Amino acid sequence: MSQQDSQVWFITGSSRGLGRALVNAALAAGDRVVATARRPESLAEDFAAYGDRVLPLALDVTSADAARAAVEAAVAHFGRIDVLVNNAGYANVSPIETTDDDDFRAQFETNFWGVYHVTKAALPTLRRQGAGTVVQFSSVGGRVGGSPGIASYQAAKFAVDGFSRVLAAETAPFGVRVMVVEPSGFATDWAGASMTVHAVPDAYEATVGAMNRLMRQNTAGAAGDPDRAAEIVVRTVHGGDVPGHLLLGVNAVTMALDYSRRQLAEATAWEEVSRSADFGEPYPVRLPTGKPE
C-alpha cells in the first residue's frame, strides 16, 4: 500500500491496552499512525522500526489546548487525519456515597471531556477534508449501565454515546462517519494497574465488593482478545459502511440484546400510561401493575 492510499490514524491512549493494539493493527494494515499518550517516550522506541509511519505525541486529553496542538502536529506531519480514535480512559472503584468528589470529576475529565476536546480539535480538519471516521471507545456498560462501583466511568460513557449521536447527525453532510465501540471485558490492564480500588464499606460489600471481585479476582481472566478487537476495528473502518455502534465480545452482545429486550418489554407494558400524558389522549388509564390510576 502506498502512502497515498494508506489512512492516517490519530489514536489516544496508545501506550497500552486496546489503544496499543490498535496502533499495531493499523500499522499491520499498512496505515500511518499518530500515537498519543501522556508519556509517549516508550512509543518512539517500540515503534521505531516503522520510521516516519508513526508519529508519537504527548497528549493530556483533559487539556483543550493540548488537543489542538496535537492535532496541528499530526496534520503538519501527515497532511491529514482519516481516522480519529478516542480510546484514552480509566475507571476507579468506589460506591457513589463514599466516592471522593475530586476523583469522580477527574475520571469524568478524561472519559468524557477528553473525548470532547480531541473530537472538537479534529473537526475542522475532518470537515475541510470532506471525509473521515471518528471511533469513540465506550463500553457495553455505556449502553446497559448498572455496574456497581464505577458510576463516574459509566456516566461518562453514557455521555459519550449521547455526544456521538449528535456528532454523527451534525457531521454526516461533511462525509464524516461516527462509530461507538462497546467492548465487554478484554485482557488489558483496565481492571489492573490502571484502576484504583478505594475502600468499600461493609454496607456495599454485596454490590460494589462483589463487582470488584468479579473484575479483578477472576482467575480465568477476561475473555476478550485485544489484538482481535483491534483488527476488527481496523477491518471495519477499511470495509466501507460502519455501524453506529459496534459491540465487541460475547458478553457485550449477550448483555446488549438482553437489555434491548427488557427495554422493549417495559416500554410496551407502559405504553398506554406514557401516551396518556399528551392532550387528546385518554386519561386517566390503569397502571400496568393493576393498581388504581
Residues 6 or more apart whose CB falls under 8 angstroms from that of 126 comprise 81, 84, 132, 134, 171, 174, 176
Is 157 a residue of the active site?
A: yes
Please identify which of the residues 14, 15, 147, 157 carries the catalytic annotation: 157
3-state SS, one letter per residue, for 232-289: HHHHHHHCCCCCCEEEECHHHHHHHHHHHHHHHHHHHHCHHHHHCCCCCCCCCCCCCC
Q: What is the pLDDT of residue 292?
A: 47
Domain edges within the chain: 8-248
Give the pTM.
0.92
For the segment 74-91, the average pLDDT, to the nearest whole number, is 96
Give the chain's count of helices (H) and strands (E). Answer: 11, 7
Please report which confidence band the pLDDT of residue 1 belongs to, taking 50, 70 and 90 as the band edges: low
Neighbours of 136 (CB within 10 A): 24
- CATH ID of 8-248, from 3.30.1440.10, 3.40.50.880, 3.60.15.10, 3.40.50.720: 3.40.50.720
Whole-angstrom Cα Rg for the chain: 21
Decide if 259 is catalytic: no
Residue of 90, 116, 153, 204 with catalytic role = 153
CB-based contact 167:118 (threshold 8 Å): no
pLDDT tens-digit map of 105-154: 999 999 999 999 999 999 999 999 999 999 999 999 999 998 999 999 99
To the nearest whole number, what is the mean pLDDT of the chain? 91
Active-site annotation holds for 6: no
pLDDT of residue 157: 96
Which residue in 138, 139, 147, 184 is the catalytic one? 138
How far is 26 from 5, CA to CA, in rounded Å? 13
> What digits encode the pLDDT tens for the residues 249-289?
999 999 999 999 999 999 999 999 999 999 999 999 999 98
Residues 54-66 have a mean pLDDT of 97
Tell me how far apart the alpha carbons of residues 180 and 167 are, in angstroms, rounded to a whole number: 11
Distance in angstroms (rounded) separating the CA atoms of residues 106 and 145: 20
